[in-house]
Chain A
Amino acid sequence: MAAHRLRIHCPHCGVRAVEEFAYGEIPATPDALTDVDARDVDRAFMHSNHEGPVSERWFHTFGCRRWFTVRRDARTNEMLPLPE
């Protein structure tokens, strides 16, 4: 798979270099663990770090100054359509 130079698709302003944006993390959603203590540890320390498509928040510092969600393939940095 060819690597794409990471460019973010801002829904208001268009496609821009990653340097225009602040990264807003992947919202923490611990797996459905039955043990409450384990769930806290998971939320505090563990990461899905998925080697594939991820949904994450970005903030367009150099443009509209809004938060939005994008879907990106972490293997290639390719922008993907958001799920319905």
Chain B
Amino acid sequence: MRVVERLNGTRIVAMPAAINTATWPKGALAFRLAPDEVLVTTTVAASVVDDAHAIVERETGFSAAWVDNAEAMDFLERECDWELPRERPAFAQGMVAGLPLKLWFEQDRVLMVVASPYAADLAERLR
């Protein structure tokens, strides 16, 4: 069974403009969960966003797995009934195989992120 690993990230809730202009540490991915919320895949300092009222918290409640393109597309074709983004890279979120999934599409692979209580379910569905 595939290993879905805990993601050591940072969750930031801030003014949308502050999130738009922030720069993230090199190599980190940033998923825009909502206009005023972003999940970064590494630890970042509070000063990263220019918003005095921003909430910047360490976030370990998500788990994730990289899946190669062919397998990911095969899985999504079966388990997802909404339109996937065509550009790369791209972020999308919604129900996949009955789970609330967050997807990060790169050229040759897809990162599947899920709230940790569902990690075992995702691993089982990916087989």
Please tell me if the beta carbons of B33 and A15 are within 8 angstroms of each other in the complex. Answer: no
Of the listed stretches A25-33, A39-47, A60-68, A73-81, chain B binds: A60-68
**Contact residue among B34, B37, B83, B100 (Cβ-Cβ distance under 8 Å from A15):** B83
| A-B contact list, 12 entries, CB within 8 Å | A12-B35, A14-B94, A16-B95, A20-B95, A20-B100, A61-B100, A62-B95, A62-B100, A63-B94, A63-B100, A65-B33, A66-B35
**Contact residue among A13, A15, A17, A19 (Cβ-Cβ distance under 8 Å from B93):** A13
Near A by CB (< 8 A), chain B positions 81-104 give: 81-83, 92-95, 100
Interface of A is mostly: loop
Contacts of B34 in A (CB 8 A): 12, 64-66
Nearest chain A CB to B81's CB is how many angstroms away? 6
Please tell me if the beta carbons of A14 and B100 are within 8 angstroms of each other in the complex. Answer: no
Nearest chain B CB to A15's CB is how many angstroms away? 6
Contacts of B83 in A (CB 8 A): 14-15
Contacts of A20 in B (CB 8 A): 94-95, 100
Please tell me if the beta carbons of A62 and B33 are within 8 angstroms of each other in the complex. Answer: no
Interface size on B, residues (CB 8 A): 12
Contacts of A62 in B (CB 8 A): 93-95, 100
Contacts of A15 in B (CB 8 A): 82-83
Q: How far, in angstroms, from A16 to B84 measured CA to CA in the complex?
A: 11
Q: Residue on B with the closest CB to A11?
A: B35
Q: Residue on A with the closest CB to B32?
A: A12
Q: Residue on A with the closest CB to B81?
A: A17
Q: How far, in angstroms, from A42 to B34 measured CA to CA in the complex?
A: 36
Contacts of B100 in A (CB 8 A): 20, 61-63
Please tell me if the beta carbons of B82 and A14 are within 8 angstroms of each other in the complex. Answer: yes
Please tell me if the beta carbons of A13 and B95 are within 8 angstroms of each other in the complex. Answer: no
